[in-house]
Structure 1
Amino acid sequence: MSTSPNTPNQMSSFRWIICAMLFFATTVNYLDRQVLSLTWKDFIAPEFHWTDTHYGYITAIFTLVYAIGNLFAGRFIDWMGTKKGYLWAIGVWSVGACLHAICGYATEVTLGIDTTAHLIGATGALASTIAITSVYYFIAARIILAIGEAGNFPAAIKVTAEYFPKKDRAFATSIFNAGSTIGALIAPLCIPTVARYFQRMGVGNGWEMAFIVIGGLGFVWMGLWQFIYKKPHENPHVNAAELAYIEQDKFHETTATGSPAPTATEEKGLTFLQCFKYPQTWAVFFGKFMTDGVWWFFLFWAPAYVKDVYGFSSDSSTAQMLLFVLYAITMLSIYGGKLPTIIINRTGKNPYAARMQAMFIFALFPLLALFAQPLGNYSYWYPIIIIGITGAAHQSWSANIYSVVGDMFPKSAIATIVGIGGMAGSISSSLINMSSGLLFDYAEKTQMVFFGFQGKPAGYFIIFCICAVSYLIGWCIMKALVPKYKPIVLD
C-alpha cells in the first residue's frame, strides 16, 4: 500500500510503521531485562557468590519498582505526550541497562579488591560481603532500568489508541506486544554468546559488555522515534482516507444511551483517585495482578530452570535451542489479538464481550502447566513446549486486556489505567520472583518433597501449579466486576 498522502483513492498505511516502531521498542525492552536472567547463573553468580535468594530479591525489587513506576508512568505519559514521554522512558531504561556493566567494578572499589580472580576466590565472610555488596549495586542499576521500562506499555497503548480504531487495537497490540516474545526469543541466542565472546577476549568477565551492547539499542530507537512520530492529524504521511479510518469511532460509535460518542476534544480527564471509583479499573487491576507474575516468572527463571533441573548452562547449544523453541512457540500469540475481531465479525458482539470470550479460551491453555514437571521425567522437551504454550496464552491474554482499557476508558485516561494495570501485574511479579528464590533455596537445602519430586524440581512444580490456575481465577474476577460492556462516559 502506498503511504503517500497525495494518493486520493488509496488509503495510506503509516499506522503500521508506527506499530513497527512500538514492536521494536518492546523488543529492546525485553532484551534489556533478559540480560541478567541469561548471565547470572553462569557468569555473574560465580563471580559474586550469589544464591537463588539473591537473584530472587534483585528480580523482586526490579518488579516492585516497575510496579510503582507504572503507577506514575501512565500519568507522566498522559501529561508529557506520547512523543516526549516515550523518548524519556526509553532513554532512562537504556542508561539503566548500561549501568549494570559497572556493578562489578563498583563492588571491587567498595571492598578494596584488586582483581576479579580475588572476587571469585573469596570464601567465608568475605564471600558473603561480596554477594551482598554486589546485590546492592545491581539493585540500584535495576531500579533505574525499571523506572524507564515502566513507561513502555502505557506509551505504546496510548499510541495504539491514537493510530488505530477500536476494532483493530487488539490486533495492533498483539503485534507490538509480540516484541516481548521476539526479545525473549533472540535473547538466549545472542546474550550468552556475546558474554562468552567478550569473556574470551578478556574484556571483563564478558557479562559487562552484554549489558552495554544490548542497552545501546535503545539509543538507536530514540533517534528513529524523534524523526518518525507525529500525531495522525499532523503527520504528512497519513492521508485523508487513513485519518478517516483511524478516527472512525469518533463518528460511528454510540454510547449505551444511544447518544453520539464524545469526540477527543469533548473528553474530560480523570484524576488518579477517580480512576479507582470504577469497577472497570479494578477489573483491569485484578486481571493483571493474577496473570502477569506467570509471564515474568517464566521470563526470569526459565534459563535457571534449564540449568537447575537439566544441567545445561545458558551458553550451551542445547539450552539455547530449548529457550529459543520455548519463546518461538509464544509467537503464536500474534493470532490472539485477531480472535476478538473474528468473533465480532461472526457474531456481531461488542468488543468487550468478544475479548472476554477470547480471554476465557486463552485462560484454559495454562492449565497444561500442571503436567509440565511430570512429563519432564520423559523428556525436557515436554515442559519447554508446555511453558511455550502457556507463554503464548499469556501474551494473547495480555494483548486483549490492554485493549479492554481502550474499549472502556476515554483516551485521556488510557495511559493512566494501563499504568495502574501494569502496577498490579508488577506487584504480583515481585511476589512470585522473591518467593521463588526463597522456595528454590529452601527446597534444595531441605530436599523438600512434593508429589514425588525432590529438591529444586519440587519447588518448580509448586510454582507451575500456581501459574496453571491463575488465568481462570483472573477471568472470573474480571467477569464478576464488569459482566457486560459498560464504557465510561465523562459528563
Structure 2
Amino acid sequence: MNDLSGAAGVSVTTKLGGYRWRVCAMLLAATTINYIDRQVLGVLAPFLQQNFGWSELDYSYIVTAFQAAYAIGLLGTGAIIDRFGTRIGYALAIGVWSFAAMAHSLAVGVVSFAAARFALGLGESGNFPAAIKAVAEWFPQRERALAAGIFNAGSNIGAIVAPALVPIIASRLGWQAAFLFTGVLSATWVTVWLITYRTPDKQPKLSAAERDYIGREPSAPSVRIPWSRLLRHRQAWALAAAKFITDPIWWFFLFWLPKFLHSEYGLTLLGLGAPLIAIFLLADVGSVAGGWVAGRLIRRGWSVNRARKGTMLLCALLVVPVVFAAKASHLWVAVALIGLATAAHQGWSANVYTMASDMFPRHAVASVVGIGGFAGAVGGMLISTAIGLLLQFTGSYLPVFFMAGSAYLIALAVVHGLVPRLEPALLETSSIIAGAAE
C-alpha cells in the first residue's frame, strides 16, 4: 500500500518535467530588463523637465522618437527573428537596447535625448516578437496565454523596479547613473541565454515526455513571410487593430503617470516610488491572471474563441472606471483606479499576444507580432503628440483618461468584427516555400 500510494503521489508535473517554465523565466527576466530601461525616463521625467526646461511638447517629441524607432524596428525585427531564430535574434536585440539605454547618460538636451530614445526603440522592438515566438516553440496552445502572461509580467516588474531604485540612484549618484545600472544585468542575461536556449527538438535536457507534451507542428523551413502576404488575412488586421487602439494607453501609463502624479498631487522624485510600485504590482497580478483565466476556461471546455474574447471583455470592462482617476479627490483613489486599469490592460495584452499563435503557424508568429507591435507603436506616436498638445494648451488630463476608459471596448468590437470565430489563417505555405527554393 505504501508503494502504491507513493507511486500515486508522484505528480504529473514531476513525470512530465518543467523545462519549458525555465525558458519562460528567461523571457520574464528579459522583459523585466526591457521595461527597466524603458521606464527610467518616465520616472525621471518631472525632474528632467525642470532641469532642462522642456515644454510638454518637448517631452512628447522625446517619447515619440522612441515610438517611431520602435515602429521602424518592427518593420523588420519579426521577420529577422523568424529567419535567424529566437536564440540569436533575442540576444542581438537586448544587446542593442542595453547600449542605447546607457547612452542616455551622455544626453544634454532634447535632440540628444531623442536620439538615445530612438536607438532604444530600435533595440527594444525585438523583445516581444522574440518572446512570443519562444512561447510558440515551447508551449502547447492551452498554456500559451499563461506563459505569455507570465513573461509579460516582466513589464510590470520592470515598472516596479524602476520607481523603487531609480529615484534613490538619481538622488545619490546623479540622473546619469540611473541610465547605467542595467548594463550588468543585460550582459548576464545575454550570456545565459546564448549558453542555454535551444528549441525543444534540440534541447538535450528536455525529457521525452515533456517534448511530446509540448508537441511539434510539422517542420517548416525558416523563410521570411512578407507582411504583404500576411496582411491579406483578416487575422493579421485583427491583431494590428487591437494593438493600435490599446497600446497607446499603456504608453501613456508608462511615460506620463509620474508627470500626472507630480502635477496633480505634488509628489517629489522620491515620493513617486510607492504609488508607482502599487500601480504596477496590480498590473503584474493582472498579467498573470489574464492568461490564467483564458487557459482555465479552455480547460473547462470553452472554445479558444469564446475563452479568449470572454477574458478580453472582462479586462475591457475593468478599464472603464479609470475615467474617474483624472479628478480623484485623493492620491490613493487615483492609484487604485489606475492600478485596476493597468492590471486589466496586462490581462488583455496577454490574450492579444496569444491570438497570434492561435491564428498563425509558429513560423509566422514573430512576423505577425511584429505587425501588431508596429501598429501599436504608430498608435503610441499619435497619442504622444496628442497628449503633448492637450497638456500644453489645456493642462488637463481628463480627455486622456476618457480615451483610456473607452479604448478596450472599441478594440474588442473591432477584433470580433474581423475574426468572429478566431479561425486560423490559411497561409499559402507551399507557395512561400517554393518561392524561397527558387
TM-score by length of 2: 0.92
Residues 267, 490 of structure 1: 8 Å contact kept = no
- The answer to whether 1:369 aligns with 2:373 is no
Q: CA deviation at 1:176?
A: 0.2
Q: Decide which of 222, 244, 253 is 2:190's aligned counterpart.
A: 222
Letter matched to residue 101 of structure 1: S
Letter matched to residue 278 of structure 2: V
Q: Decide which of 320, 338, 341 is 1:390's aligned counterpart.
A: 341
Separation (CA, whole Å) in 1 of partners of 2:37 and 2:340: 23
% of aligned pairs identical?
Answer: 39
Cross-structure match for 1:173: 148
Separation (CA, whole Å) in 1 of partners of 2:232 and 2:393: 42
Q: CA deviation at 1:166?
A: 0.6
Cross-structure match for 2:298: 344
For residues 203-230 of structure 1, give each alpha carbon's deviation from its aligned partner in whole angstroms, at most 9, with x where no partner exists.
xxx1111101124421221111111101
Secondary structure at the aligned position of 2:270 is classed as coil
Cross-structure match for 1:323: 276
Residues 94, 216 of structure 1: 8 Å contact kept = no
Cross-structure match for 1:108: none
Q: Decide which of 395, 398, 412 is 1:475's aligned counterpart.
A: 412
- The answer to whether 1:75 aligns with 2:79 is yes
Secondary structure at the aligned position of 1:85 is classed as helix
Q: Decide which of 113, 137, 141 is 2:112's aligned counterpart.
A: 137
Cross-structure match for 1:130: none
Letter matched to residue 107 of structure 2: C
- The answer to whether 1:102 aligns with 2:102 is no
Q: Decide which of 202, 212, 221 is 1:234's aligned counterpart.
A: 202
RMSD value, Cα: 1.7
Cross-structure match for 1:24: 29
Q: CA deviation at 1:11?
A: 1.7
Cross-structure match for 2:368: 417
- The answer to whether 1:190 aligns with 2:165 is yes
- The answer to whether 1:286 aligns with 2:241 is yes
Cross-structure match for 1:39: 44
Q: CA deviation at 1:13?
A: 1.0
- The answer to whether 1:442 aligns with 2:393 is yes
Secondary structure at the aligned position of 1:484 is classed as coil
Q: Flag the 1:9–1:402 CA change in 2: closer, same or farther, 3 A.
A: closer
Cross-structure match for 1:148: 123
Letter matched to residue 177 of structure 1: N
Residues 195, 207 of structure 1: 8 Å contact kept = yes
Residues 101, 209 of structure 1: 8 Å contact kept = yes
Residues 43, 163 of structure 2: 8 Å contact kept = yes
Larger mean CA deviation between 7-16 and 276-285 belongs to 7-16
- The answer to whether 1:210 aligns with 2:178 is yes
Cross-structure match for 2:269: 314
Q: Decide which of 255, 272, 285 is 1:332's aligned counterpart.
A: 285
- The number of equivalent residue pairs is 416
For residues 381-413 of structure 1, give each alpha carbon's deviation from its aligned partner in whole angstroms, at most 9, with x where no partner exists.
111111111001111111101101101101111
Q: Flag the 1:143–1:268 CA change in 2: closer, same or farther, 3 A.
A: closer
- Structure 2 gap ranges (5+): 1-11, 429-438
Residues 15, 164 of structure 1: 8 Å contact kept = yes
Separation (CA, whole Å) in 2 of partners of 1:29 and 1:429: 17
Q: CA deviation at 1:55?
A: 0.8
Cross-structure match for 2:312: 359
- The answer to whether 1:50 aligns with 2:54 is yes
Secondary structure at the aligned position of 2:302 is classed as coil
Residues 68, 118 of structure 2: 8 Å contact kept = no
Cross-structure match for 2:9: none
Letter matched to residue 167 of structure 2: P
Q: Flag the 1:280–1:192 CA change in 2: closer, same or farther, 3 A.
A: same
Q: CA deviation at 1:38?
A: 1.1
Q: CA deviation at 1:41?
A: 1.5
Q: CA deviation at 1:267?
A: 9.2
- The answer to whether 1:62 aligns with 2:37 is no
Q: CA deviation at 1:9?
A: 8.2
Cross-structure match for 1:4: none
Q: Flag the 1:173–1:188 CA change in 2: closer, same or farther, 3 A.
A: same
Residues 352, 407 of structure 1: 8 Å contact kept = no
Letter matched to residue 200 of structure 2: P
- Structure 1 gap ranges (5+): 1-6, 105-133, 199-205, 251-262, 444-455
Secondary structure at the aligned position of 2:427 is classed as coil
Separation (CA, whole Å) in 2 of partners of 1:264 and 1:22: 23
Separation (CA, whole Å) in 1 of partners of 2:417 and 2:143: 26
For residues 62-115 of structure 1, give each alpha carbon's deviation from its aligned partner in whole angstroms, at most 9, with x where no partner exists.
1121112122110111112100000110000001001111113xxxxxxxxxxx
Cross-structure match for 1:463: 400
Q: CA deviation at 1:145?
A: 0.5
Letter matched to residue 195 of structure 1: A
For residues 276-324 of structure 1, give each alpha carbon's deviation from its aligned partner in whole angstroms, at most 9, with x where no partner exists.
10000100010111100111101111111111111111223xx211111
Q: CA deviation at 1:233?
A: 1.2
Separation (CA, whole Å) in 1 of partners of 2:199 and 2:229: 27
Separation (CA, whole Å) in 1 of partners of 2:366 and 2:189: 21
Separation (CA, whole Å) in 1 of partners of 2:201 and 2:161: 36
Q: Flag the 1:382–1:141 CA change in 2: closer, same or farther, 3 A.
A: same
Letter matched to residue 210 of structure 2: E
Separation (CA, whole Å) in 2 of partners of 1:320 and 1:365: 24
Q: CA deviation at 1:27?
A: 0.3
Separation (CA, whole Å) in 2 of partners of 1:300 and 1:67: 17
Separation (CA, whole Å) in 1 of partners of 2:358 and 2:332: 39
